[in-house]
Structure 1
Amino acid sequence: MPSPAARPLRAVRWGAPALLGLGIVGLDWYQREGLQYPGTLVAVPLLAAALGGPLGTAAAGALAVLLSYGLGVAEATRVEYDPNSDTAVTRLLIIAVLTVIAVLASRHRRRRERSAAQVATVADAAQLAILEPPPRRIGGLRCASTYRSATQLARIGGDLVAVVETPQGVRALVGDVQGKGLEAVRLAGYVLGSFRERAHDGMSLGELATALDTTVRRASLGQDVFVTAALVQVDGATGDLQALSCGHPAPYLVAPGDSRARELPVVPGPPLGLLELADPPDVLHGQLAEDERLVLVTDGLLEARRPKLLSREASGPFLDAPALLAEQLATGSLSLGLDGVVRGASRWSRGRLRDDLALLALARAAAVPRVPQPGAPPPSSSSSKEGSPSR
């Protein structure tokens, strides 16, 4: 959406209409007899209205009127021409009237920009409250997440991401609420709040999924809605990994040298809100190696499709998500890798993502060796002397 940072530079807003007017004047002056272009000067205030504000538009309109009349005076020195004729005056009046219209249009556009900026500010605050960004390091793990709404001008949607540190380990949730709009955002807020609270209650990962299922059913207000979710628990020290899926895409593992991300063999259960219809989902037990990255995704990545030529419908081939994840996240920064995944998905879909896209990456934090200060005794000597009686 337009913002002060995204507007054209002042030199462009004022200079482009002036250059257009001077270009029309030059074209008219060097044209052969019988051709006249002063009427096209009406484009000067219209261009100014598209680039700048009411003041700049009015100035551009005044410049167009002066240039038009000046061309008439200059033409009178070369050929028989009356700059005060009815035709010339009518042309000036048309430029003046369209300048007034352009000023009003520019004023209306500026108001809409300010309103959109205020809405964006509120949406950013809501996003921070609902989708609180996880810390870069938590419970012995490195962490990064990203979110992109498929709705134009929107900051938040129906996808949800949360990471908390508990006595059982780091627990993470990535999910997708059925539906769109404010109702999906409301339900996402309920699920995230419940997860952040119940994850500390000492229950197992399966029991936590059951608790979230109860939250969804209570928050649905009798409507048939559900939330797909992937839950993981990682011990940052040992790498012990647990994962389950409630109707959600399975997490991926990426390691250096992988050409494709490896999907965890999680057996998905019913989505949250429908667990009472079947048995609870099975919990997969595994290990997260020190050089591996655990990546949780939503359907927005897996269902990204390339539109066919001259078509706005996403009916082409699907994105090769495992290859893209391995390419961007096998090594390097987690946050930069996730940004690369989002760019890759956007390029593949030619900027037409049909669903919200949320990504979360976790990796075990490498132990940082302690560097002794100059002049300090070696750690071994210090430890051997610590607590020993002095002689």
Structure 2
Amino acid sequence: MPPRDGALALAAVASLIAVSATSAARFAMFGPAMPSWTYSTQLSRDMLSFMLQPPPEGRLRAAFSSASAAYWPALGRLLLRPAQNHHAQTLAIPACTLDDDAADDAQMMERAGVWAPGLAAVARASRGLELPAECVFASPDADADADASDAPRPHDHRAILHFHGGAYVTGSLDSYRGLHARLSEATGLRVYGFEYRLAPAAQYPTQLYDALCAFRHLRALGYAEEDIVFSGDSAGGNLALALWQLLRPRIRGLVLLSPRVDVTSARPSWRAFAGIDILPPYDIASPASSLRKLLAPPGAALTPDVLALLADPYIAPVRANLTGLPPTLVQVGTAEVMYDDICAFVARAEDHARAAPPHARNPIVLQHYPDMFHVFQAVPMAAPAVDRAWREIGAFVRALP
């Protein structure tokens, strides 16, 4: 191991010990932050909160934070490993072209609204680009054929396209492989994940364009629209909803885990659970804000045009036209700062479904998990809520017509 990697590993271990000790002391003195939490649940929350805080001031604290971000996810992947064997097949998603003369692309760009010029510019600049991707399949058969490069076979003609979370500034195939495997195990389907470009190196709508390329690649592999399920956690749920708005595809269903649907931090749950959930508030005025990194290049001023984007339906799907939304499962913890945002989004989706023609009405299922924090499904030590959530995800997807 190179000296720098060794130092990072030691720093990660030291920070893990420090966070664990602090969490244990707080639990022993004051009890759990929420009534139903065990110590393992609270430790999971404290570890995630430590990782998700803005970069701290000071070289030493910053080093510990960086080391934790680099090495702690490996522990999570180990603990989240599914009971079944899982196989991962790497693949590359080619950049897709946008054809002004094609009717479908013209309609898509019309739906894109303010993002249309940006999408066109990103498409032009991305020629020749390939996005890292992989297909994960969980199977009780250790020797199962996991070749994802072929067109889908008759017995597995459905698939899930998962959009990873991470506030659009972090997340990778490596850090999400355990979740992809768990998703495949729960549903019995192949799960395709991909690495969209992240802020601050790439601003929106680059991520939306990358998601479009991923969807088109699944179609090129032979999957029909009706055989694809979108899933996403946190910012990935936001991206899944954005791609649905852009394309209005006839996908089979949508699974959203603590989706980001608004970015104002204005509803009461943001205050009620500020010291309990793992997420910091959206402070776009801060240079460290992930939202600012997504919408504005480094060093750019916050102009009125940038601030107006906070209310755009692609950034805040709680303001979107949700008529025709496919069958959708939404899971949320009741101790999330986003709780009220997500409930407002589901209420809007239900209102739009009731007002739609009968053929456009699809079920919207909202599941509340008492005392749980943001994307608890990815935290193995938060059981038994985690196991129940995955059973519900599997049941929902398997029941889709």
Q: TM-score, normalised on structure 1?
A: 0.27
**More helix by percentage:** 2
Larger radius of gyration: 1
